[in-house]
Amino acid sequence: MGSKGFILLGLLLVLSVLYHSGYSLQCYNCINPGGICTRISNCTPNFDACLSLFGEIQTRYQCWTFANCDFTHLSEHFGEKKLHYNCCQKDLCNRSGGTSITGTTVLLVTPLLTAFWRLFI
C-alpha cells in the first residue's frame, strides 16, 4: 500500500470516528420564529424525535418524545385546540426547506470517492 493508500485509510478512520462520537439526535429548536428556524439543539437521550408544531397561538420546533406525539397529548401540553404537527426521527427533520449532510451521507459517499481515487492512482 503506497502513501496514497495510507492517506485514504486515515481519512476513512477519521470519518468513522466522527460519525458516532457523542451522537445524539439533532433538531431545530425555536419558539415562534420570525422567519426560518436555524437554531439547532442536541436532544437529550429521553427525547427521540423532532417536533414541528403549528397551532393558532404558537409555532414550535423542538426535541420531543415520539411516544407522546399524538394530538391529545400535544393539545393538552401546549394549550392548543387546533394544531398541525409532525414528529420525525432523523437529524434536523423538523423543518422543511432545510438541507443537511449527515454522517450516513458521508459514509455512503466514501466508496464513490474511493473509486475515483483508484482511477487517478
Q: What is the 3-state secondary structure (H, E, C) of the chain?
A: CCHHHHHHHHHHHHHHHHHHCCCCCEEECEECCCCCCCCEEECCCCCCEEEEEEECCCEEEEEECHHHCCHHHHHHHHCCCCEEEEEECCCCCCCCCCCCCCHHHHHHHHHHHHHHHHHCC
CB 98 within 8 A of CB 92: yes
* Cα distance between residue 75 and residue 84, in whole Å: 10
| Domain assignment of residue 44, yes or no | yes
89-101 residue pLDDT tens: 999 999 875 444 4
Does the pLDDT at position 104 exceed 90? Answer: no
| Domain assignment of residue 2, yes or no | no
21-63 residue pLDDT tens: 456 999 999 999 988 999 999 999 999 999 999 999 999 999 9
Instruction: Kindly report the CATH number assigned to the domain that includes residue 38.
Output: 2.10.60.10
| Domain assignment of residue 9, yes or no | no
| Domain assignment of residue 55, yes or no | yes
| Domain assignment of residue 16, yes or no | no
| Domain assignment of residue 111, yes or no | no
**pTM, 2 dp:** 0.62
| Domain assignment of residue 3, yes or no | no
- Split into its structural domains, the chain has a count of 1
Range of the domain at 70: 23-102
Structure-model confidence comparison of residues 83 and 96, the more confident one: 83
Q: How many CB atoms lie within 10 A of CB 95?
A: 19
